[in-house]
């Protein structure tokens, strides 16, 4: 006995596991047949939770223990709930990705509009300085050449829809121009 204790302390001796169950046949799990599983699945489709009498009735029809039927239904409900959560997660994830993409598009649009606004404000200041220096607004406009607000590289109709065309000889007060854009 002292020798076993010494070996046990040194970690060289294994302990034996105790057997669970009353006999060798009962400790082994009994696997359900395909027909039993199909029958249980069909009943699960009709009702997710069993009443006691229904459980006993199903168990007797299948030749199973009522506890085994109850455990099968419990496990199946857990799998069903997990599947529902996974589907909901996938749906929410797709919605989130769509919202994030939408947000990115809106942020890009905001940057583009801020750039257009900045360019328009620069052009307004430039035109205002020119008109202040000459005293005659129409003459200052007639002497200047047309400079696009957005730059030379933007020529599509879609990109220039937000621009206001003003004839060279037309004078619009800065406040009137801003009011026409809703500022």
Q: What CATH number is attached to the domain comprising 38?
A: 1.10.10.60
Q: Tell me, yes or no, whether 12 lies in a domain.
A: no
Integer Cα distance of 77 and 73 in angstroms: 6
Q: Quick check: 39 and 62 in contact, CB under 8 A?
A: yes
28 is a domain residue: no
* Residue 22 in domain: no
In a domain, 47, yes or no: yes
Does residue 20 fall inside a structural domain? no
Instruction: State both tokens at 15.
Output: 């302990």
Position 8 pLDDT exceeds 60: no
Model pTM above 0.85: no
Angle of CA points 9, 15, 17, to nearest 5°: 155
pLDDT digits (tens, 9 = 90+) for 26-44: 545 678 899 999 999 999 9
The parent domain of residue 115 ranges over 33-180
Q: Is residue 13 part of a domain?
A: no
Query: How long is the chain?
Result: 183
% of the chain exceeding 70 in pLDDT: 56
Instruction: Output the pLDDT for position 144.
Output: 46
Taking only the tens place, the pLDDT of each residue in 97-122 is: 999 999 999 999 999 999 999 999 99
Residue 27 belongs to some domain of the structure: no
Helix or strand holding residue 119 (H, E): helix 66-134
Q: How does DSSP classify residue 138?
A: H
Q: How many domains are contained in the chain?
A: 1
**124, 100 in Cβ contact below 8 A?**
no
- Output the furthest CA–CA distance in the chain (Å, rounded): 118
* Strand spans (E) along the chain: none
């Amino acid at each position: 006995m002292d020798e076993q204790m010494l070996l046990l302390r040194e970690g060289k001796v294994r302990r034996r596991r105790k057997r669970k169950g009353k006999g060798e046949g009962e400790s082994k799990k009994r696997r359900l047949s395909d027909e039993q599983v199909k029958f249980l699945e069909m009943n699960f489709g009709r009702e997710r939770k069993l009443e006691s009498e229904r459980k006993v009735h199903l168990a007797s029809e299948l030749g199973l223990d009522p506890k085994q039927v109850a455990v099968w239904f419990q496990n199946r409900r857990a799998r069903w709930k997990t599947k529902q959560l996974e589907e909901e997660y996938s749906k929410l994830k797709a919605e989130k990705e769509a919202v994030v993409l939408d947000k990115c598009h809106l942020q890009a649009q905001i940057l583009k509009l801020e750039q257009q606004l900045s360019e328009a404000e620069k052009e307004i200041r430039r035109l205002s300085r020119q008109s202040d220096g000459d005293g005659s607004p129409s003459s200052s406009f007639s002497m200047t050449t047309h400079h696009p607000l957005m730059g030379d590289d933007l020529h599509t109709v879609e990109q220039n829809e937000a621009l206001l065309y003003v004839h060279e000889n037309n004078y619009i007060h800065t406040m009137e121009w801003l009011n026409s854009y809703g500022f």
